[in-house]
């Protein structure tokens, strides 16, 4: 087990391993809803291998770590910059930013890449004027050639994710919106089924890597759901306070969850039973990731603390 400390970090918003498993991408926030930077840590030394300074509201990394997307507040946009931009992290066009054109609304609440990394799902909202009702949409933008697709939705899309085969898109309001979870048979506009958790917020939606099953985080619970079904498969109960993040193992057999109770818990994804519980002196935990080989996990805590451990220890 290794504990690293990132300087000038108030909160770790997200963790994800590069496909080779040697580096850990860390999205850092300095204040609430503001992404200050993203850096890649060497998982053995904890030293930054690469860093990109950002000044954005939200940030997303493509599954293969070859693209990066960010969104900005409409009140702080600069001339010539759209509310959502993306860049290649490797290869042609690396480091040059591209605007996402023709957004239907300019308040951005969710960013998510499709499983192939070729399109970006944008949860956005807006109103014609102060006295008009809010309109909500999910805009699917091609990152290259192709046509954009805009799906009108009834509620704010604060969290959007896709099944590994791209056949299901699952939407919820995220930390600031309606907790209901809606299953869309992508790219159909109307949802096919929904589930309402017994919580005021649904924070995260994370799909298994090998099947249309996902874990939804709502309050103190992690809920296992099958895409398109309204009845849960299992409830992962054990955290003493809010569950903040989850990750499946690469083989889909296990789920690791972390929360504000400063613990990490490993679960049998099929049976819904807790296998292990970990507690480290790093404070509340806000992010977690499984390595590509399934042997190592990383969790992010308060004030830039990152713990990397052998999940079977």
Tens-digit pLDDT profile for residues 251-265:
999 999 999 999 999
Residue 46 within a domain: no
How many structural domains does the chain have? 1
- In this predicted structure, the answer to whether residue 33 has a pLDDT above a threshold of 70 is no
Residue 95 within a domain: yes
Q: What average pLDDT score do residues 153-160 get?
A: 93
Residue 129 within a domain: yes
Q: What average pLDDT score do residues 131-153 get?
A: 93
Supply the pLDDT for residue 229.
95
Residue 208 within a domain: no
Answer whether 53's CB lies under 8 Å from 71's CB: no
pTM of the predicted model over 0.75 = yes
Residue 86 within a domain: yes
Grade residue 128 by pLDDT with cuts at 50, 70 and 90: confident
- In this predicted structure, the answer to whether residue 267 has a pLDDT above a threshold of 90 is yes
| Mean pLDDT taken over the chain | 93
Supply the pLDDT for residue 131.
82
Domain that includes residue 80, residue range: 57-157
Cβ partners under 8 Å of residue 290, min gap 6: 17, 247, 248, 249, 250, 256, 296, 297, 311
Supply the pLDDT for residue 50.
93
Supply the pLDDT for residue 32.
65
pLDDT above 90 covers what percent of the chain? 80
Grade residue 75 by pLDDT with cuts at 50, 70 and 90: confident
Residue 73 within a domain: yes
Q: Return the number of other C-beta atoms located less than 10 Å from residue 158's C-beta.
A: 22
Supply the pLDDT for residue 116.
95
Lowest mean pLDDT among 30-44, 96-110, 129-143, 163-177: 30-44
Task: Measure the CA–CA gap between 286 and 226, rounded to whole angstroms.
Answer: 25
Grade residue 188 by pLDDT with cuts at 50, 70 and 90: confident
130 cis-preceded (ω within 30 degrees of 0): no
pLDDT above 70 covers what percent of the chain? 99
pLDDT, tens digit, 9 for 90 and up, residues 39-68: 999 999 999 999 999 989 999 999 999 999
Q: What average pLDDT score do residues 16-43 get?
A: 90
Residue whose C-alpha is closest to residue 246's, from 202, 293, 204, 278? 204
Residue 82 within a domain: yes
Task: Measure the CA–CA gap between 221 and 69, rounded to whole angstroms.
Answer: 29
Q: Return the number of other C-beta atoms located less than 10 Å from residue 273's C-beta.
A: 10
Supply the pLDDT for residue 7.
86
Supply the pLDDT for residue 187.
81
Task: Measure the CA–CA gap between 180 and 225, rounded to whole angstroms.
Answer: 13
Q: What average pLDDT score do residues 210-220 get?
A: 96
Q: What average pLDDT score do residues 143-151 get?
A: 93
Residue 178 within a domain: no
């Amino acid at each position: 087990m290794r504990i690293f400390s990132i300087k000038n970090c108030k909160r770790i918003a997200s963790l994800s391993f590069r496909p080779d498993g040697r580096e850990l991408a860390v999205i850092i926030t300095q204040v609430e809803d503001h992404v200050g930077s993203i850096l890649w840590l060497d998982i053995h030394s904890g030293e930054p291998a690469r860093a990109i300074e950002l000044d954005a509201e939200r940030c997303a990394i493509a599954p293969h770590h070859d693209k990066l997307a960010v969104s900005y507040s409409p009140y702080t946009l600069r001339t010539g910059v759209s509310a959502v931009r993306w860049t290649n992290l490797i290869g042609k066009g690396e480091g040059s930013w591209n605007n996402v054109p023709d957004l239907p609304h300019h308040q951005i609440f969710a960013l998510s890449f499709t499983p192939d990394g070729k399109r970006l799902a944008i949860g956005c909202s807006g109103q014609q004027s102060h006295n008009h009702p809010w309109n909500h949409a999910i805009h699917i933008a091609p990152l290259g050639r192709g046509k954009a697709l805009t799906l009108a939705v009834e509620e704010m899309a604060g969290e959007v994710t896709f099944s590994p085969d791209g056949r299901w898109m699952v939407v919820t309001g995220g930390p600031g919106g309606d907790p209901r979870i809606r299953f869309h048979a992508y790219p159909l506009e109307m949802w096919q089924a929904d589930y309402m958790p017994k919580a005021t917020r649904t924070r995260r939606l994370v799909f298994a890597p090998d099947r249309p099953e996902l874990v939804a985080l709502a309050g103190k619970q992690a809920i296992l759901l099958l895409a398109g079904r309204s009845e849960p498969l299992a409830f992962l109960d054990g955290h003493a306070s809010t569950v903040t993040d989850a990750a499946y193992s690469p083989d889909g057999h296990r789920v690791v969850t972390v929360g504000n109770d400063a613990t990490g818990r490993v679960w049998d994804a099929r049976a819904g039973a807790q296998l292990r519980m970990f507690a480290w002196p790093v404070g509340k935990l806000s992010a977690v990731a499984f390595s590509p080989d399934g042997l190592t996990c990383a969790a992010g805590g308060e004030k830039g603390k990152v713990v990397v451990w052998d999940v079977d220890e």
